[in-house]
Chains A and B, each alone.
Chain A
Amino acid sequence: LAKTTQPISMDSYEGQEVNITCSHNNIATNDYITWYQQFPSQGPRFIIQGYKTKVTNEVASLFIPADRKSSTLSLPRVSLSDTAVYYCLVGDRSNYGGSQGNLIFGKGTKLSVKP
């Protein structure tokens, strides 16, 4: 069961790029890395998923080094509305019962964006 470690909190200012790193030293070969965003009193929302190298979508980029023991979620030019908790999940997306890493959110990183 892959475990993840993220900073508890981060502060940033509007317009800056924010990078949130997640450590997952025990990641398995079949594990994918997924990030979610959660606003207060709302359910988490999927942001991005990747396996290796770099993935980019309209919201964020995900950087995964060759050893895959960590990953970095990059949010370009954040705004006040990006203030939220960000969760890093690691799990085997083909294994619904055996590996629950894909279902474990942990406490995430609380990002506060200031004006």
Chain B
Amino acid sequence: DSGVTQTPKHLITATGQRVTLRCSPRSGDLSVYWYQQSLDQGLQFLIQYYNGEERAKGNILERFSAQQFPDLHSELNLSSLELGDSALYFCASSVELEWAGELFFGEGSRLTVL
């Protein structure tokens, strides 16, 4: 158990819909990272937050947004969903702003768009 909690574990929805994925980082961790993993694309970095502020951005679509709240939990919002958005979405956390080498990953949220 990494200490990172993600909900929901599974989510099935239809194209055009909007969903929110939630992540609670390890106690004391200030940085939260979001990743998308699909079969053909591998593990793709989406975005990083540190103590409520966006710090790094990867291949995140404009239809996707994220935020980190004062209690440090984070949410990833996916809107106007397409079939290609079906994937595992992982959240990871680390203590520091600077990446010190070890990210702690949650179990992921599996999104299926029908």
Residues of A within 8 A of B (CB): 32, 34, 38, 41-46, 49, 87, 91, 93-97, 100, 102-108
Q: How far is the CA of A93 from the CA of B94 in the complex (A)?
A: 12
* A96:B101 contact, CB within 8 angstroms: no
Residues of A with C-beta under 8 A to B106? 43
The 9 closest A-B pairs by CB, nearest first: A43-B105, A105-B43, A107-B42, A46-B102, A49-B101, A103-B45, A102-B99, A43-B90, A94-B98
Partner pick for A96 among B35, B43, B99, CB 8 A cutoff: B99
- Spell out B's residues near A (CB within 8 Å): 2, 4, 31, 33, 35, 42-45, 48, 50, 55-56, 58, 88, 90, 92, 97-108, 110
Q: Which residue of A lies closest to B92 (CB)?
A: A43
Main secondary structure of the interface of B (DSSP, over half): strand
B43: nearest residue on chain A (CB-CB)? A105
Name 29 interchain pairs, CB-CB below 8 A, sorted by A: A32-B101, A34-B101, A38-B43, A41-B107, A41-B108, A41-B110, A42-B108, A43-B2, A43-B90, A43-B106, A43-B108, A45-B105, A93-B101, A96-B31, A96-B48, A96-B50, A96-B56, A97-B55, A97-B56, A100-B58, A103-B45, A103-B58, A104-B45, A105-B42, A105-B43, A105-B44, A105-B45, A108-B42, A108-B43
Q: Which residues of B contact A107 (CB under 8 A)?
A: 42-43
Which residues from A are CB-within-8-Å of B42?
105-108
Least CB distance, B50 to chain A, in whole angstroms: 7
Within the assembled complex, what's the spacing in Å between the Cα atoms of A100 and B31?
Answer: 15
- Return chain A residues, CB-CB under 8 Å to B48: 96, 103
B102→A103 contact, CB < 8 A: no
> Which of A34, A93, A96 touches B55 (beta carbons < 8 Å)?
A96
- Name B9's closest neighbour in chain A (CB-CB): A41
Q: Contacts A45-B105, A97-B55 hold; do A91 and B88 have CB atoms under 8 A apart?
A: no
CA of A102 to CA of B88, assembled, Å: 20
Does A43 lie within 8 Å of B99, measured CB to CB? Answer: no
B56 touches A46 (CB 8 A): no
Given the known A-B contacts A43-B90, A103-B56, are A95 and B98 also in contact in the complex, defined by CB atoms under 8 Å? yes
